[in-house]
Homo-oligomer: A and B are copies of this chain.
Amino acid sequence: MNDFFKFVENGSITTPQGFRACGVTAGLKASGKADMALIFSEIPANFAGAFTSCLFAAAPVQVDRKRVLDSKFVQAIIVNSGNANACTGRIGLENAEKTCQMTAQKMGLTPDAVMVSSTGRIGVQLNMAKIAKGIELAAAALSNDGGSDAARAIMTTDTVPKTAAVTFTIDGKPVSIGAMTKGAGMISPKMVLPHATMLCYITTDARIENSLLAKMLGIGVDLSFNRITIDNDMSTNDSCIIMANGKSGITIQQNSTNAELFQQALSALLKKLAVAMVKDGEGATKLVNIEIHGAASRVDAEKAAKAVANSMLCKTAWFGGDPNWGRVAAALGYSGAIFEPEKVDVYYNSKPVIKKGQDAGTPEKELAAEMAGREFTIKCNLNAGSVDYNVWTSDLSYEYVKINAEYTT
């Protein structure tokens, strides 16, 4: 199919008109790597946000939730890595507010036009002198092509920055959507808005009302971050924020054809980044697409896909390149989805593995060959109904254990 939109080469959050960004080093990371990012819209922007459903929501998440309720527009997002400002009580909350205030002052805004995110170590108070220095540096470093620097500054255990943009034409005018995301561990989003579980920032130069923006973000998240899991752990901090500043001159109205087009482009962009997150998952050597077909309901389809995707036994078998499909069958069987085992078919890519609940007879060597690539699909047809669903997941490697047994900051 010919998409009406194009991915922009080296596209980022500064691809849409009227956005500037940067990444700077405030000294919060022991490694000395960039650790603060600032995203700035030249004019007030509509916005929507989705946040973690973890009860221990970090201080910046608590501040941002207030913005979603109280602010009509925002203009800046200030982000730090190296410290999550989570489980930090009243002082943590004051520090998150103060971070917004300092950013607002520097940029000539009111504090309620600034959103804030943090990621990194839980339970340690922010070093506010370093935050102040970082804001100072960031305000000076903002640039029209700072998107990729910003993407680097929000990384923790990520090995590559994850950034992309799409562009398309509406009523003869170019419209863009840019996005960046980070997250390689503590990744298992629970996805009903207003919940999300990774850091993701999206910019667009279309004008879209907050309520429509929230609806579109919800649909986009459901088709992307909704469907990924790395380790089945959800974070205290993760946030997904979209800003729409209207600089393109195009306004997207509810229930219009243009809204459908925008939704398609947004969903494709988020899907690309979601898959990139799994590929860069902690210690991941495989990207595995778990496709469930023929489920009796959406709930059943999700349960089945996530049981396989999160099974430690499946994940280690994928790492070992072992076709061991009994582990897939077991996970489907305990998932809670309802189906008749003797009707289930499973394929590794196009090779039949299970036929009517039993060994399909494909030689192990052929199955192992399908799993040898960096990416493969496990397609499960439950033959119990007509609902399809998929989840992208990674394998479980020695490196995952190493990163998480030795990583603290």
Residues of chain A touching chain B, judged by Cβ–Cβ distance below 8 Å, are 52-57, 84, 86-89, 121-124, 185-186, 190, 231-236, 310-313, 316-317, 319-320, 322, 324-327, 329-334, 338-339, 341-342, 354, 356-359, 396-398, 400-406, 408
Query: With A190-B334, A330-B56, A401-B319 as given contacts, are A232 and B87 in contact (CB-CB < 8 Å)?
Result: no
Enumerate 16 A-B pairs (CB-CB under 8 Å) in ascending A order. Answer: A56-B341, A86-B329, A87-B329, A121-B326, A122-B325, A122-B329, A123-B325, A123-B326, A232-B312, A233-B311, A233-B327, A233-B334, A236-B333, A312-B396, A320-B405, A397-B405
Copies in the complex: 2
Quick check: A231 and B313 within 8 Å, CB to CB?
Answer: yes
- The chain B residue sitting closest to A360, CB to CB, is B123
Complex CA–CA separation, A404 to B235 (angstroms): 27
Quick check: B357 and A87 within 8 Å, CB to CB?
Answer: yes
Query: With A316-B404, A316-B405, A333-B236 as given contacts, are A341 and B397 in contact (CB-CB < 8 Å)?
Result: no
Quick check: B320 and A236 within 8 Å, CB to CB?
Answer: no
- The chain B residue sitting closest to A321, CB to CB, is B405
Complex CA–CA separation, A342 to B86 (angstroms): 11
Quick check: B123 and A54 within 8 Å, CB to CB?
Answer: no
Complex CA–CA separation, A235 to B186 (angstroms): 26
A322 contact set on B, CB distance < 8 A: 405-406, 408
Q: Which of A186, A316, A320, A331 has the most CB of B within 10 A?
A: A316
Closest 5 CB pairs of A and B: A122-B326, A320-B405, A316-B404, A56-B333, A54-B333
Partner of A234, one of B334, B404, B408: B334
- The chain B residue sitting closest to A124, CB to CB, is B359
Quick check: B404 and A401 within 8 Å, CB to CB?
Answer: no
Q: Which of A56, A311, A339 has the most CB of B within 10 A?
A: A56
- The chain B residue sitting closest to A54, CB to CB, is B333
